[in-house]
Amino acid sequence: MPALPPPTEAEVRRMVAEFEARGGRVTICRPAHLLPVHNGAGRDAKRWTA
Per-residue pLDDT of the chain (50 residues; tens, 9 = 90+): 788 999 999 999 999 999 999 999 988 877 776 666 666 666 666 666 65
- Residue 38 resides in a domain: yes
Residue 24 in any domain: the answer is yes
Spatial separation of the C-alpha atoms in residues 16 and 22, rounded to whole Å = 10
* pLDDT score for 30: 76
Range of the domain at 35: 9-47
Q: How far apart are CA 18 and CA 22, in angstroms?
A: 6
Number of independent structural domains in the chain: 1
CA dist 44 and 37 (Å) reads 11
4 within domain boundaries: no
In a domain, 3, yes or no: no
